[in-house]
Amino acid sequence: MAIVPVMWTVWGVFVLITAALYVYRWGLTRGEEDQIFLDDSFQQERTAQEAIVAKVNKLEPFVKTFLWLVAASSAFVIVYYILDIIDRLK
């Protein structure tokens, strides 16, 4: 089996998962306020904001991991084609 289709498939899967994580995180943070001043009468809103922050914090390691995987697979693709060009020039 050739390496090129596998290489591009792996890269594409990593990019799609990363994009899906970003879209999901965007959907979560859409309802988040940048700054709110809440007193004790707004406990429901405070609880909702804390739940959003907890979900986003739980998601962050996955986002960072897949960003690194996309970067590593992109570097692999670039190196593969550079070596292929060098090999063809010989």
- 53-71 confidence digits (pLDDT tens): 888 999 999 999 999 999 9
- Domain of 49 in residue numbering reads as 10-29+39-89
Residue 34 lies inside a defined structural domain of this protein: no
Q: How far apart are CA 72 and CA 85, in angstroms?
A: 20
Nearest to 20 by CA among 77, 62, 69: 62
Q: Which amino acid is at 65?
A: T
Confirm whether 3 is domain-assigned: no
**pTM exceeds 0.85, yes or no:** no
Q: 85 lies in a domain? A: yes
Predicted pLDDT of residue 33: 64
| Residue 23 in domain | yes
The answer, yes or no, to whether residue 37 has pLDDT greater than 80, is no
